[in-house]
Structure 1
Amino acid sequence: MTVKKRREFLELCLKGGVSLAALTSTQLMALEGLVSQSQFDDNKALVCVFLMGGNDSSNMLLPLVDEPLQHYLDSRQSLAVTDSITLNPLSQIYGGVGLHPSLEPLHSLFLQQRLAAVGGIGSIIAPTSKAAYKSKSVPLPKHLFSHNDQQATWMQGREKASLNYGWGGRLLEMLQSSSNFASNISLAGSNLWQTATGSNPFALSQQGITKIYAYDSDSTARLALRAELEKMFANATHPLGNAYAQKMTRAISNTEHLNSLLESATDFSDQFSDTSLSKKLAAVARTLSVRSQLGVNRQLFFVTMGGFDTHDDQNTRHPALLSELATGLAEFDSALSELGLQNNVTTFTMSEFGRTLSSNGDGTDHGWAGNQLVMGGAVKGGDIYGTLMEQRLGNEFDVGAGRLIPQVANEQYFATLAKWFGASDSDLLDLFPNLGNFNQHTLDIFG
């Protein structure tokens, strides 16, 4: 076969769904090496739902009465929500707290104590006051209100650095003595959160099944293409070509193996809505249903939901986004219940920052502190952890336009999740080096 034809074969295969991410070492194990060596005999999974764009999470949890409500109405003006659903968290909160009406599907989960909120989270390196912020007498994160920089900070688990890995991928490396492609699955392609020093996530399509052009039918043309491709791999003699051939072969084997399991996995098609988020979470549920056949007892899943950069038309766009989020999470919780996995799976949100309390006329601009959600049977739900921050312009944590200084470091939030997953105290300090600046390393979210 000529070089040109070989290149064409490779291009056809790559166009068929074997992406560059499919060639990473987490996927490149031979099928006989599927079982990971782990120190744990239980099963746990973390499912990250990243709300891309910076969610206006202040409008997720709202004051109900008295002075806090009046401050909220004055600050948020045309963006204020006045028909919230009353929550009764276990911890008493001055002014009460309500849930955005578009999050109604999550209300029952909160009442059943399988959902918690964490307030006042953001990217900080050390406890920070307004005076310290203005005088720069404490270290401050760089590029605070930049999408790319703050997304990287949240995924890396520390101030953005040259380190090319995220806290999720590194956490897996710490807990497993050998890798397994099925431990690290993304429904959003390659991402920093799941990337470790020597591996990337295994990418699934939104439907869960990943098609490989040369392998998805028994037509004469496809069979010929597959035979030629395998012949080319078998005959590779150059060290680089041989390494590539081995990696591609293993990636294809892993993909076919997972596809065959998913074909017979639990069908949740009637239990999830026809939105992008729900489809992705349905694929996660299907994959979790075959976990025992994959030989893994620790898994990471990464799902994204875009559209949260609401500089305009927020009163229309944001409620629709929250409705999709709440519906997808509630459907996922129901699927986990059916699988008997509620106590084994913790689902949590991340977003690069909150948004300003003040309106720009039709929406909000990039902010700082925000609120996040944590869902699962292991969660001490029905409560709000961290600090539910006062929504008042000019308050003691407002550095301008209602950009609020976080009272909970995102590293404390990450450390809480990582500890539940199995990380030791020393692991936490390795993953999140700024924890040493805080008196409390983790939050009391889990029982």
Structure 2
Amino acid sequence: MDRRKFLAITGTFTGGSLLLPDFLYSFGTQTNLVLGEQCLVFIQLNGGNDGLNTFIPFEDALYANLRPNIAISKNEVLNSTKGMGFHPALKGFATMQQNGDLSVIQNVGYKNPVRSHFRSQEIWQTAPTQQEYLNDGWLGRYLDLQCKEHQPTAGINIDNIDNLALKGEEPNSITVKEPNRFVVKGKAETESQLSTNPQLDFVRKIANSVVEGSDEIQKALAKSAPSDVVYPKTDLAKNLEWISKLIKGNLNSKVYYTSLGGFDTHDNQLAIHKNKLTDLNDAVFSFYTDLKKSQQLQYVTIVVFSEFGRRVKDNGRGTDHGTAAPMFVIGGNNRGKILGRNPILSDLDNGDLKHEIDFRSVYASILKNKLHFDASKIGIQNKALDGLF
């Protein structure tokens, strides 16, 4: 019997969560839910989202002066608070903030910023101390310590390619694009069948992980309660709908990850950015509504971020690669606040925003407050951000 099933039978408290014994469900409980089980959902905006046109410092005269071709009109900004407001495409984000379910973290970045998409994404995904190159992701390192034994679905990446953030020494995560089609026939090998060759054993462990993960995912989908929320017909919305089904089907993964590309807006930014933010808004708000109706939102913390922001001054048609940008945290009983100062457009670093909050401090806060985990155990030495939860 594996550890998860043993805990379910004994009804043990673990990590602040109560796992109900299976025999109780014969007495009228509708779904096999794990009460209080926290999980994280990361939405990565690839290409470098323009934070200044996402959460907009519309009262700062320098905003319009430095962006004569792409500035959003004051009359269009949504949910204005302390001189900041959302892009008009982000009506759902404005509603979530008004509901007290969305926090904005201003000016997030890191020292000596890198403007390469690949390298900056890698830095966010591995969370190095001094920009050293790491083979494992920060979430993969967390799962290596969290999973006392191999758990193939501890992390789920809904995508076509693996995500470095989830890579660890053990295969505790799975990448899958269409969960309902992820059916692998076969039987996992037992430990007695493994060889003395460590490389071959690792390959077999991955193969076993795929088989076991496929079984767990199909079981969760079968148990997932139907939803009356109609998601948009976009890739991100479909990915988030899958994640909702897996959460409600009691897969009990600690981390879910997905992404949305197309934010590299060097040209034709007004139209492209509006379309991308509309995709983001509609998908996330449907996911949020689904979780709220199923009473899961308090257990699910959604994190939206990009590898860097854009330059403050426009280039005539768009913006080039920049540095600091806002992060958004939704659900998980966050405080619904705006953390950090408004972007200071009068004090730039060679035309770029100066970062004020290190992204690793946000990671440390999420690990500490939602997963009761000490971030220093995976090499993150930054102090946890206060005021988020």
Please state which band the TM-score falls in when normalised by the shorter chain. Answer: 0.7 to 0.9
Give the letter aligned to residue 59 of structure 1.
Answer: N
With normalisation by structure 1, the TM-score equals 0.73
Give the letter aligned to residue 148 of structure 1.
Answer: F
After superposition, the C-alpha distances for 1:54-110 in whole angstroms (9 at most, x for unaligned) are: 100111122344xx1x21110111110004334254xxx3xx222110001222111
Output the CA distance in 1 between the equivalents of 2:358 and 2:188: 53
Partner of 1:184: 155
Output the CA distance in 1 between the equivalents of 2:97 and 2:189: 56
Partner of 1:320: 275
Partner of 2:354: 405
Output the CA distance in 2 between the equivalents of 1:119 and 1:407: 8
Instruction: Tell me if structure 1 keeps the 8 A contact 2:142–2:378.
Output: yes
Tell me the SS of whatever aligns to 2:298. coil
Alignment of 1:115-154 (within 5 A): 115-124=102-111, 140=112, 144-154=114-124
Give the letter aligned to residue 335 of structure 1.
Answer: D
* 2:379 is aligned with 1:443: no
Residues 100, 432 of structure 1: alpha-carbon distance in 2 compared, 3 angstrom cutoff: farther
Partner of 2:169: 197
Output the CA distance in 1 between the equivalents of 2:210 and 2:167: 17
Tell me the SS of whatever aligns to 1:77. coil
Residues 399, 288 of structure 1: alpha-carbon distance in 2 compared, 3 angstrom cutoff: same
Instruction: Tell me if structure 2 keeps the 8 A contact 1:109–1:115.
Output: yes
Partner of 1:259: 218
Higher helix share: 1
* Aligned-residue RMSD, C-alpha: 2.9
Residues 418, 36 of structure 1: alpha-carbon distance in 2 compared, 3 angstrom cutoff: farther
* 2:245 is aligned with 1:286: yes
* 2:127 is aligned with 1:157: yes
Aligned length: 360
Deviation at 1:369, TM superposition (A): 0.6
Residues 247, 176 of structure 1: alpha-carbon distance in 2 compared, 3 angstrom cutoff: closer
Larger radius of gyration: 1
Instruction: Tell me if structure 2 keeps the 8 A contact 1:123–1:153.
Output: no
Partner of 2:11: none
Output the CA distance in 2 between the equivalents of 1:176 and 1:242: 19
Partner of 1:48: 42
Alignment of 1:46-445 (within 5 A): 46-65=40-59, 68=60, 70-82=61-73, 83-89=75-81, 93=82, 96-124=83-111, 140=112, 144-158=114-128, 159-188=130-159, 189-199=161-171, 201-205=173-177, 207-212=178-183, 215=185, 244=203, 247-268=206-227, 271-291=230-250, 294=251, 296=252, 299-381=254-336, 383-390=337-344, 392=345, 395-396=346-347, 398-400=348-350, 402-424=351-373, 427-435=374-382, 441-445=384-388
Output the CA distance in 1 between the equivalents of 2:79 and 2:310: 23
Output the CA distance in 2 between the equivalents of 1:354 and 1:243: 39
Output the CA distance in 1 between the equivalents of 2:5 and 2:194: 30
Output the CA distance in 2 between the equivalents of 1:347 and 1:53: 20
Residues 151, 211 of structure 1: alpha-carbon distance in 2 compared, 3 angstrom cutoff: same
Output the CA distance in 1 between the equivalents of 2:189 and 2:138: 38
Identity %: 23
Gaps of 5+ in 2: 8-13, 18-35
Gaps of 5+ in 1: 1-30, 125-139, 216-225
Tell me the SS of whatever aligns to 2:171. coil
Output the CA distance in 2 between the equivalents of 1:54 and 1:363: 12
Output the CA distance in 1 between the equivalents of 2:271 and 2:204: 50
Residues 160, 192 of structure 1: alpha-carbon distance in 2 compared, 3 angstrom cutoff: farther
Instruction: Tell me if structure 1 keeps the 8 A contact 2:143–2:172.
Output: no
Instruction: Tell me if structure 2 keeps the 8 A contact 1:190–1:201.
Output: no
Instruction: Tell me if structure 2 keeps the 8 A contact 1:387–1:408.
Output: no
Partner of 1:28: none
Give the letter aligned to residue 58 of structure 1.
Answer: L
Tell me the SS of whatever aligns to 1:164. coil
After superposition, the C-alpha distances for 1:146-202 in whole angstroms (9 at most, x for unaligned) are: 111110111112244232112222223333423422221110241111112323521
Output the CA distance in 1 between the equivalents of 2:158 and 2:333: 24
Deviation at 1:312, TM superposition (A): 1.1
Output the CA distance in 2 between the equivalents of 1:238 and 1:176: 23
With normalisation by structure 2, the TM-score equals 0.83
